Amino acid sequence: MTLDYTFMTVKNVIPDTVDNYNIATYTIPCNAAIDSANLSKVTFSIVVKEVAGDIFNTYSHTEGSNSIVSRVITVSGYNSGQFISFNVNVF
């Protein structure tokens, strides 16, 4: 899993690495149970980090009290390489 470590973190998980662009990479083990489709599940909670207002405003794409920062989280399979990316809006 990768995400922007400036604004988010994974609850109770330490990132494996954080690069120069502040993109954190996590390895999160999946559930050991395999279902009838030969799949397993992974569960995680994303936590928004508190940042200074000037940093938030630098990255936001709106102004004023309705400022929003949009970031992408990518989750990829360790063995399969399949992935899903989704957009997260931070208010």
Q: What is the pLDDT of residues 38-77, one digit of tens each?
A: 888 889 999 999 999 889 888 898 776 778 999 999 999 8
Q: Which amino acid is at 8?
A: M
pTM of the model: 0.84
Q: By three-state DSSP, how is residue 66 classified?
A: helix
d(CA 88, CA 13): 19
Dihedral angle over CA of 20, 50, 45, 87, nearest 10: -60
Sign, CA dihedral 61-59-86-47, equals negative
Is the model more confident about 61 or about 12?
12
